[in-house]
Structure 1
C-alpha cells in the first residue's frame, strides 16, 4: 500500500474520523469546483481545518501543522521543501486542476507525498473542443463563414472535404489525444498519430495509426491537432515552419496544448504564405498575444483564449473527481489518478 492508503487503512474502523485537510485556491474557485452540494460532500470526507486563498495564508494559519491532506487548484503555491517543513503531517495532495508541474517540487517526491490530479476530468472538455473544431474544419466552416460575410454570397460546396474518410493527425497521444481519437471514431475519419513515448499497444487500443515521423503526419493531415506537453529544452518550437508547410491544401491546424510548442513566428509566416491554411489557436506563446501580433489580423486565424479546458459548470467534474479520490483514500483504497515523478513532466 502507499503511505496514504496505509494511513487511511488504519483509520478505516473509525468511520467518523475525517481526514484533516486544508484547501488552497481563490474563494471564487470553491463555487466553480464544488458548489454547495459538492462542498457538503467534500466536507463529509475531510475536516477542512483551513480555507486558504493562497500560500501565504496557508503558511500563516495556526493549524497548518495538523494538515494531512492538501486540496489545491490554480493559484496554489509551489510545494518547496520550505513550504513542506510547515506541513509536517502532510501525506497527500489532491490537485483540482490539470498539470501539477508548477505545484510540485522534487521535495514532494523525496518525502513520499502522494499526488493526485484531476487532469482526467479537465481533459474531457479539451477533447470535446478538438472534436468540435475538427468537425467544423472538415465542413470548412471557419473559411466559409468569413467568405460569406465578406462576399455576401454562398461559396461553392465542391471544395468542402467532408467528414467520411478524411485524415486527422494527432501530435502526441496522451490522455487528451486518446479521448479525441475516441470521439473521432464516431465520424469515420482516419486518425493518425505520432508519439515517441507511446508503444504500439497504446496506438492500437486508441484506434490510431502510428506514423514514424512528424513530416509524414503533417503531410497527410487535413486537420492537425497538437497535444504535446511543453518540456523546456525538449519540445519548445517542436512544430516548425517546415512541418507547417507540409500541411495539405485547405488543412486546419489546431493547438490546445501550449503556445511555445509551436514556433509562432514561423506559424505566422506560413499562414501569410499559405492563405489556404487555417489555424485555430486556443493557446499562444504570450497570452494574450502582444498587441502588435499579426495573429489578431490574419484572416485565417481563430483565437479562442484558453476556452478548451474546463470553464464554468464544467469545473464541477474536477470537484467530483477530487471528492471521489478522497473517499478512496479515507477507505484505505489507492486513488485512481496518482501522478508519479516520472509522469508529472509529461502532463500538459
Structure 2
C-alpha cells in the first residue's frame, strides 16, 4: 500500500518533542517503531518538519499533542503523505479539510488514550456514591465525623452518561459489575444499540439529568452545536446529592450557570477535570466553592500511561507495512463525534 521496491517499510516523519517521545514510546517502543518504519525525519515541531530536507519522502506522519494543524500549506510540503497516525486522542484540532480532500488516512490512538479516562470516571463515580468528596470536606471543616445516613452506596445506583462514544462505553462496561443502572443520551447512537449493551437510552437530556445520581459528561465540543450544551436549567434538575463529572471539554458546560447552581445547591458536587479556560483565571469562583473538585487534566494519559498509545501506533504501522488497513482509522464524520 505505502511500500516501494526500494523500501519495504513505510517512510515516516515523526513530530514529537523529546519528553513526549519518551512518554509515548520509551526505548522499547521506539525500537519497535524503527523496526516497522523507515524514519526519514525526526522533528520537534511542525516548523522543523516543514524545513526538513527529507520531508517530501514521508508517507506516514506520526504526531501527538502540540502538532500544528495540517493545513493545505503544510501538506504541500508533504507530497508523499498517505497516512497520519496521531498518538493522542481527538484529531479535531490537527486535521483540516485539506487532509480529507487528499484522501489521507487518519489514525487516532484515542482508544488507548481513553482507558485512563474511563478508569478516572469509574473511580470518581465510586467516590461520589460513597459521598467521599463532601464527607472529606466536612470532616476537615467540622473537625468531626458526619453521620453515615443518606450515603447511596455503590450498588444499583443510576449513573447518567452524556454522549456514548468510546470513553463512555468503557465507563459503562466498568460500572456493570456494580449493578449500575446506566442511562445514556446520545442522538447519534440508536436506542437498540444501547439496549444491547445493557444501557438504558434516554432521549431527553432533561430526563437524564433528573434521574442520574452521578452524571458524567462525554460530549465532544462541536462549534455551533455543543457549546454550553449543559445549561443551568439541566443542572438544576439533578437529584439531591448528585455529582457531576466532566472529563470531556470545559466549554460543553455553561460554567457561569454551573457556578450559580452550585451556590444555590450546596448538596450538589462537581468534579471538573476540564474547564473552558485552562488554567482558570485567578478570580474564578470555582476555586473557592467547597462543592467543586478541580483536577486539571489528570484523567487523560500521563507519563508511562502514554506507552499504550505508542504500542497502538507501532501495531498500526505494522499493519500498514503489511499492506493491511489500520484498525483505528477515523472518518471525517466520526472525527466530529469524538470528545
| Equivalent of 2:114 in 98, 123, 127 | 123
- Preserved contact between residue 13 and residue 62 of structure 2 (Cα < 8 Å): yes
Partner of 2:186: 195
Cα drift, residue 18 of structure 1 = 1.8
Partner of 1:3: none
Cα drift, residue 288 of structure 1 = 1.2
Kindly report the root-mean-square deviation, in angstroms, between the aligned alpha carbons of the 2 structures.
Answer: 1.1
| Whole-angstrom CA distance in 1 between matches of 2:237 and 2:173 | 26
SS in 1 for 2:332: coil
SS in 1 for 2:171: helix
Cα drift, residue 157 of structure 1 = 0.8
- Preserved contact between residue 270 and residue 293 of structure 2 (Cα < 8 Å): yes
Q: Does 1:81 align with 2:76?
A: no
| Equivalent of 1:283 in 269, 274, 282 | 274
| Equivalent of 2:25 in 17, 34, 50 | 34
| Equivalent of 1:90 in 74, 81, 94 | 81
| Whole-angstrom CA distance in 2 between matches of 1:206 and 1:304 | 30
Q: Which runs of 5+ in 2 are unaligned?
A: none
- Preserved contact between residue 2 and residue 59 of structure 2 (Cα < 8 Å): no
| Whole-angstrom CA distance in 2 between matches of 1:88 and 1:266 | 48
TM-score (norm 2): 0.98
49-58 vs 18-27, which moves further: 18-27
| Whole-angstrom CA distance in 1 between matches of 2:256 and 2:80 | 48
Show CA shifts across 1:219-268 (max 9, x none): 00000000000001100000000000000000000000000001100000
SS in 2 for 1:287: coil
SS in 2 for 1:280: strand
SS in 2 for 1:132: helix
Partner of 1:298: 289
SS in 2 for 1:21: strand
| Whole-angstrom CA distance in 2 between matches of 1:337 and 1:206 | 21
| Whole-angstrom CA distance in 1 between matches of 2:53 and 2:2 | 23
Q: Which runs of 5+ in 1 are unaligned?
A: 1-5
SS in 2 for 1:316: helix
| Whole-angstrom CA distance in 2 between matches of 1:21 and 1:177 | 33
TM-score (norm 1): 0.95
| Equivalent of 2:168 in 177, 185, 209 | 177
SS in 1 for 2:333: coil
